[in-house]
């Protein structure tokens, strides 16, 4: 539905061709993608989970990632980022395995989480 | 073609096709003949015969919910609406000076726009073929004015082309089409298309390319008065001594092939984006206000739904007052129309069928960011001669869009300083604080109007849909696979509950989808009620 940040014109064409059902800005964006886990967190995740990873509550709740024991096993956050749940979209198309590994590793070692075991791109690729 | 035989009328032909192939064949044939309606709207629903005393509870006072309530109440049902917000209208919404908006995470903006100025955070333009919405706008007294969708004099900007300097849409589009016409004509001359089309059509196509692409007698696209008649002049035609125009130089074709150019051109070909488009006078929120006037006594505001339970006799909805007292109450009705966005509904305790629960949880929501910037004067009109329309950019803000009302006016005006398209750009802007978003919008938008953008800036407001407390996102984002698996379950009446909203339509992310979904849902619910 939405236009991807693809540098390849073919990808842009495909994305555009399927964009007929939503009110969109038009055009094609080309900003530099985030690289490190910290950059991915700031440029993607914190849109919903907030800069302090505390999430928020209105008519429903965006869960906090801070102090979250469900991050203990890396497979869980990897699966959430890849496939999404409820309102949260999956990011398997937007982010590469290395970016997802980076951000999962970042969240598991920040915001009061202390799960130091590294997360690899291979783990993410295997879970796709 | 005259054959001497009596000609079959179109109506006779369509009737025959309809009899042989059913409605879908008929629809296809009508489409081919250019007769098909541009919408599935067939007029207000017929809900005759409602049983006296039958009741419906509607969850959500957005357009889908309010239309359902309006039509059901008109049909004789006893209706009430529960709404989380103190405001009716849902995503149909305008922010005006004096309004306060608090997003998830707690950041609060006090909108400082001058009287009459506004930002439409959600919907902002209405296609001429969204007949349901136009019908009810007229019925409910919403004044509409043109939305200037297509402006040849607005800009296209790519960081990777034209040295990063914005170009007028007119110039890049003319050069794209002119060059393509010339190349295609060359391909014909080089016999590259001889196996594709016959000699007569090759000549016809060449003639079309000459006229469409502004090619000269040598079938070349060059800097001359022909190309200037599309792309504009260095010295435009005038009067008297210096009346003769001079042509303009062409752009480098490599730059013209930048994807920012053709995507901007293709954007306007999209059926939903074609002119004529409209906007309400005074802000998009006027539609929500007009709907609300029709159903105002039915709405309970500040009601956060916490539980939806249906049994053999009806539906019980538990809700909590969002005020400090937080009183909990229950509402009971025979049936329920639920328009709560799926990401929110997914978190509400319910006993909907497991199949419907799975469908509700399967649909993610998109994000979008809109930023309104107020300036002291209309420098885009006064200095750049841009009256409405959009300037597109490859930067995160996606575009800036110029106001369509009060053209040539004095005093402050608000332009749309960002409509961040999906994914990375919109998440990046959404993740910022409101002041950071304004700064980003100024830093990126000033590429179009560098001499005035910061100098004339007064104030701004932003809405990041990822952080809107009552939706947790912008719109349902169906993939083909998820739609295949879950859509019919999502829209089916689940015993006494039916879902409605843009998420339950194929016109996703448009108000028209919400309304068409609502009419379809209540028509089926009414049928279900008569069977009960």
Q: How far is A93 from chain B (nearest CA, A)?
A: 10
Contact state of A89 with B399 under an 8 Å Cβ cutoff = no
pLDDT of residue B7: 47
Where are the domains positioned within chain A?
Answer: 1-31, 32-127
Q: Which residues of chain A does B263 touch, with a Cβ-Cβ cutoff of 8 Å?
A: 3, 12, 16, 26-28
φ, ψ for residue A35 (rounded to 5)?
-115, -60
3-state SS assignment for residue B474: coil
The residue among B121, B125, B126, B100 whose CA lies nearest residue B466 is B121
Instruction: Please write the tens of the pLDDT for every residue from B364-415.
Output: 999 999 999 999 999 999 999 999 999 999 999 999 999 999 999 999 999 9
Q: How far is B473 from chain A (nearest CA, A)?
A: 7
Q: Which helix (H) or strand (E) holds B29?
A: helix B10-32
Mean pLDDT across chain B:
94
pLDDT of residue B497: 98
State which fold the B95-150+275-285+366-467 domain adopts. Answer: Polyamine Oxidase; Chain A, domain 2 (3.90.660)
3-state SS assignment for residue B134: helix
pLDDT band at residue B1 using 50, 70 and 90 as cut-offs: very low
Contact state of B468 with A58 under an 8 Å Cβ cutoff = yes
CA distance B62 to B518: 11
3-state SS assignment for residue A71: helix
Contact state of B431 with A51 under an 8 Å Cβ cutoff = yes
Contact state of A30 with B104 under an 8 Å Cβ cutoff = no
In CATH, what is the architecture of B55-86+301-363+479-531? 3-Layer(bba) Sandwich (3.50)
Q: Are B114 and B459 in contact (CB under 8 A)?
A: no
Q: How far is B508 from chain A (nearest CA, A)?
A: 6
Provide the sign of the torsion angle of the four alpha carbons B446, B449, B451, B455, taken in this order: negative
Q: Which residues of chain B does A29 touch, with a Cβ-Cβ cutoff of 8 Å?
A: 394-396, 398, 421, 424-425
Contact state of A2 with B423 under an 8 Å Cβ cutoff = yes
CA distance A115 to B292: 51
pLDDT of residue A13: 32
Contact state of A47 with B464 under an 8 Å Cβ cutoff = yes
Across B348-369, average pLDDT: 97
Q: For residue A7, what is the nearest residue in chain B, using CA coordinates?
A: B259
Instruction: Please write the tens of the pLDDT for every residue from A92-124.
Output: 999 999 999 999 999 999 999 999 999 999 999
pLDDT band at residue B516 using 50, 70 and 90 as cut-offs: very high
Instruction: Please write the tens of the pLDDT for every residue from B265-314.
Output: 999 999 999 999 999 999 999 999 999 999 999 999 999 999 999 999 99
Looking up tokens 């009960």 gives: B532
CA distance A65 to A61: 12
Q: For residue A43, what is the nearest residue in chain B, using CA coordinates?
A: B428
Contact state of B471 with A26 under an 8 Å Cβ cutoff = no
The residues facing A61 across adjacent strands are A57
B410 φψ region: left (φ > 0), alpha (ψ -120 to 50), beta (else): beta
Q: For residue B444, what is the nearest residue in chain A, using CA coordinates?
A: A31
Q: Are B391 and B166 in contact (CB under 8 A)?
A: yes
Count chain A–chain B contacts defined by CB atoms under 8 A: 187
Residue A58 makes CB contacts below 8 A (sequence gap 6+) with: B84, B104, B468, B469, B470, B472
Residue B70 in this model has a pLDDT that exceeds 70: yes
Instruction: Please write the tens of the pLDDT for every residue from A15-68.
Output: 333 343 466 766 666 678 999 999 999 999 999 999 999 999 999 999 999 999
Q: Which residues of chain A does B259 touch, with a Cβ-Cβ cutoff of 8 Å?
A: 9, 12, 28
Q: Which residues of chain A does B319 touch, with a Cβ-Cβ cutoff of 8 Å?
A: none
Residue B3 in this model has a pLDDT that exceeds 50: no
Q: For residue A2, what is the nearest residue in chain B, using CA coordinates?
A: B422
Contact state of B424 with A26 under an 8 Å Cβ cutoff = no
Could you give the percent of chain B with pLDDT greater than 70?
93
Q: Are B404 and B145 in contact (CB under 8 A)?
A: yes
Residue B181 in this model has a pLDDT that exceeds 70: yes
Q: How far is B420 from chain A (nearest CA, A)?
A: 7
Instruction: Please write the tens of the pLDDT for every residue from B454-494.
Output: 999 999 999 999 999 999 999 999 999 999 999 999 999 99
CA B531 distance to own-chain centroid: 37
Closest residue to B466, CB basis, from A3, A5, A48? A48
In CATH, what is the architecture of B170-252? Up-down Bundle (1.20)
Closest residue to A22, CB basis, from B160, B420, B508? B508
ipTM: 0.89
Contact state of B424 with A50 under an 8 Å Cβ cutoff = no
Task: Give chain B's end-to-end CA distance (angstroms, integer).
Answer: 56
The residue among A56, A72, A55 whose CA lies nearest residue A109 is A72
Furthest-apart CA pair in chain A: how many Å? 44
CA distance A40 to A33: 8
CA distance B420 to B440: 12
Which of A8-17, A79-88, B148-157, B475-484 has the least mean pLDDT?
Answer: A8-17
Which one of B103, B416, B431, B477 would you mutate to disrupt binding with A, by most A Cβ within 10 Å of its Cβ? B431
CB-CB neighbours of A70 under 10 Å: 11
Q: Are B55 and B79 in contact (CB under 8 A)?
A: yes
CA distance B472 to B503: 14
Across B310-325, average pLDDT: 96
Q: Which residues of chain B does A83 touch, with a Cβ-Cβ cutoff of 8 Å?
A: none
Looking up tokens 């000269």 gives: B216
Where are the domains positioned within chain B?
Answer: 55-86+301-363+479-531, 95-150+275-285+366-467, 170-252
DSSP string, B321-348: ESSTT--EEEEEESEEEE---HHHHTTS
Instruction: Please write the tens of the pLDDT for every residue from B82-117.
Output: 999 999 999 999 999 999 999 999 999 999 999 999
pLDDT of residue B32: 52
Q: For residue B361, what is the nearest residue in chain A, using CA coordinates?
A: A86
CA distance B503 to B499: 9
Contact state of B467 with A48 under an 8 Å Cβ cutoff = yes
pLDDT of residue A31: 74
Across B508-512, average pLDDT: 97
The secondary structure of residue B423, as a DSSP letter, is T
Please calculate the CA angle B217-B222-B225 and round it to the nearest 5 degrees. Answer: 80
pLDDT of residue B38: 74
Instruction: Please write the tens of the pLDDT for every residue from B212-252.
Output: 999 999 999 999 999 999 999 999 999 999 999 999 999 99
Furthest-apart CA pair in chain B: how many Å? 88
Looking up tokens 């004789």 gives: B76
Across B196-201, average pLDDT: 96
Residue B133 in this model has a pLDDT that exceeds 80: yes
The residues facing B372 across adjacent strands are B416, B461
The secondary structure of residue A90, as a DSSP letter, is P
Residue B28 in this model has a pLDDT that exceeds 80: no
Which one of B61, B419, B425, B463 would you mutate to disrupt binding with A, by most A Cβ within 10 Å of its Cβ? B425
pLDDT of residue B5: 43
Across B187-206, average pLDDT: 97
Contact state of A62 with B104 under an 8 Å Cβ cutoff = yes
Q: How far is B51 from chain A (nearest CA, A)?
A: 34
Q: pTM of the entire structure?
A: 0.91
pLDDT of residue A30: 67
**Chain A residues 50-69 within an 8 A CB cutoff of chain B:** 50-51, 54, 56-62
Looking up tokens 């001594």 gives: B241
Q: Are A106 and A40 in contact (CB under 8 A)?
A: yes
Which one of B129, B420, B472 would you mutate to disrupt binding with A, by most A Cβ within 10 Å of its Cβ? B472
Assess if CATH 1.10.760.10 describes domain A32-127: yes
Q: How far is B201 from chain A (nearest CA, A)?
A: 29
CA distance B333 to B313: 9
**Chain A residues 62-121 within an 8 A CB cutoff of chain B:** 62, 84-90, 94
Closest residue to A27, CB basis, from B123, B344, B392? B392
Residue B18 in this model has a pLDDT that exceeds 70: no
The secondary structure of residue A63, as a DSSP letter, is P
Across B136-149, average pLDDT: 98
Q: How far is A119 from chain B (nearest CA, A)?
A: 22
């Amino acid at each position: 539905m939405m236009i991807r940040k693809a540098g390849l014109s073919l990808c842009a064409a495909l994305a555009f061709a399927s964009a007929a059902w939503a009110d969109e800005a038009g055009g094609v964006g080309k900003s530099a993608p985030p690289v490190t886990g910290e950059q991915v967190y700031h440029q993607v995740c914190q849109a919903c989970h907030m800069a302090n990873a505390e999430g928020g509550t209105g008519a429903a709740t965006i869960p906090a990632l801070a102090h979250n024991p469900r991050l203990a096993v890396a497979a869980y956050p990897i699966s959430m980022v890849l496939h999404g749940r409820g309102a949260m979209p999956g990011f398997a198309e937007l982010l590469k395995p290395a970016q997802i590994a980076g951000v999962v590793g970042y969240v598991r070692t920040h915001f009061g989480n202390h799960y130091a075991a590294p997360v690899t791109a291979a783990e993410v690729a295997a879970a796709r | 073609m005259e054959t001497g035989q009596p000609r079959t009328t179109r109506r006779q032909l369509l009737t025959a096709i309809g009899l042989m192939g059913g409605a879908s064949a008929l629809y296809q044939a009508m489409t081919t003949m250019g007769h098909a309606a541009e919408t599935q709207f067939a007029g207000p629903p017929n809900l005759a015969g409602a049983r006296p005393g039958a009741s419906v509870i509607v969850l959500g006072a957005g357009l889908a919910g309010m239309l359902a309530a309006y039509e059901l109440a008109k049909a004789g049902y006893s209706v009430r609406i529960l709404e989380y917000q103190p405001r009716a209208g849902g995503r149909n919404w305008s922010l005006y000076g004096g309004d306060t908006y608090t997003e998830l995470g707690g950041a609060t903006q006090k909108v400082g726009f001058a009287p009459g100025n506004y930002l439409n955070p959600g919907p902002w333009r209405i296609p001429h073929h969204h007949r349901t919405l136009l019908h009810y706008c007229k019925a409910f007294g919403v004044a509409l004015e043109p939305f200037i969708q297509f402006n040849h004099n607005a800009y296209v900007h790519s960081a990777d082309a034209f040295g990063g300097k914005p170009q007028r849409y007119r110039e890049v589009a003319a050069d794209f089409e002119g060059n393509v016409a010339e190349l295609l004509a060359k391909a014909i001359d080089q016999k590259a298309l001889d196996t594709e089309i016959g000699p007569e059509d090759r000549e016809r196509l060449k003639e079309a390319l000459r006229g469409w692409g502004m090619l000269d007698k040598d079938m070349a696209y060059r800097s001359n008065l022909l190309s200037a008649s599309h792309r504009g002049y260095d010295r435009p035609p005038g009067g008297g001594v210096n009346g003769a125009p001079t042509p303009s130089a062409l752009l480098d074709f490599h730059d013209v092939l930048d994807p920012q150019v053709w995507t901007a051109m293709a954007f306007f070909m999209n059926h939903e984006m074609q002119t004529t488009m409209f906007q309400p006078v005074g802000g998009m929120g006027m539609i929500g206000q007009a709907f609300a006037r029709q159903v105002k006594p039915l709405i309970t505001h500040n009601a956060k739904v916490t539980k939806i339970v249906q049994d053999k006799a009806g539906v019980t909805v538990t809700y909590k007052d969002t005020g400090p007292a937080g009183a909990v109450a229950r509402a009971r009705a025979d049936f329920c129309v639920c328009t709560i966005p799926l990401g929110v509904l997914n978190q509400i305790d319910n006993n909907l069928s497991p199949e419907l629960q799975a469908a509700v949880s399967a649909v993610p929501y998109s994000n979008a960011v809109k930023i309104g910037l107020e300036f002291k004067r209309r420098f885009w009109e006064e200095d750049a001669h841009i009256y409405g329309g959009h300037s597109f950019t490859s930067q995160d803000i996606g575009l800036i869009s110029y106001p369509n009302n009060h053209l040539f006016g004095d005093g402050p005006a608000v332009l749309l300083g960002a409509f961040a398209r999906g994914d990375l750009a919109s998440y990046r802007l959404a993740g910022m604080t409101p002041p950071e978003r304004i700064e980003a919008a100024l830093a990126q938008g000033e590429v179009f109007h560098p001499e005035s953008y910061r100098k004339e800036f007064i104030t701004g407001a932003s809405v990041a849909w990822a952080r809107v407390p009552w939706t947790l996102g912008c719109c349902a984002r169906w993939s083909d696979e998820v739609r295949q698996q879950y859509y019919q379950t999502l829209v089916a009446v689940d015993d006494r509950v039916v879902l409605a909203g843009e998420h339950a339509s194929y016109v996703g992310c448009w108000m028209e989808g919400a309304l068409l979904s609502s009419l379809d849902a209540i028509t089926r619910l009414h049928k279900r009620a008569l069977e009960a």
